[in-house]
Amino acid sequence: MAATRGVRAGVSVNARSEWVAFTAKLPQALKKKLKIAAAECDRKQQEIVAQAVEKWMNENGFNK
C-alpha cells in the first residue's frame, strides 16, 4: 500500500479530470466492479488501480 501512496504523492493538479478521462475508457462492467470493490474495502479507486498496474508490471518484468 505504501507504493500506492507514492503514486498519489506525484499526482498532478488535474488529477481528478485525468482520472475521469481514464475511467471513462474502462468497460462499464469493470467500472461498476471497481466502484463496488472500492466501497467495500474503503479504498480509493485510484489506489486499487495503481496496485493492480504495479502488480501487472512486476509480473511482466517491467519493474527492473
- The pLDDT score that the predictor gives to residue 11 is 53
What is the rounded distance in angstroms from the CA atom of residue 44 to the CA atom of residue 37?
9
- The pLDDT score that the predictor gives to residue 38 is 96
What is the rounded distance in angstroms from the CA atom of residue 58 to the CA atom of residue 64?
8
- Would you give the DSSP letter of residue 25? T
What is the rounded distance in angstroms from the CA atom of residue 63 to the CA atom of residue 58?
5
Q: What is the pLDDT of residues 3-61, one digit of tens each?
A: 444 455 455 567 778 877 778 888 999 999 999 999 999 999 999 999 999 999 999 99
pTM: 0.65
Q: Write down the domain spans for the chain.
A: 2-59
Query: CB of 25 within 8 A of CB of 39?
Result: no
- The pLDDT score that the predictor gives to residue 24 is 83
Strands (E) located in 1-64: none
- The pLDDT score that the predictor gives to residue 5 is 46
Query: CB of 7 within 8 A of CB of 50?
Result: yes
- The pLDDT score that the predictor gives to residue 60 is 94
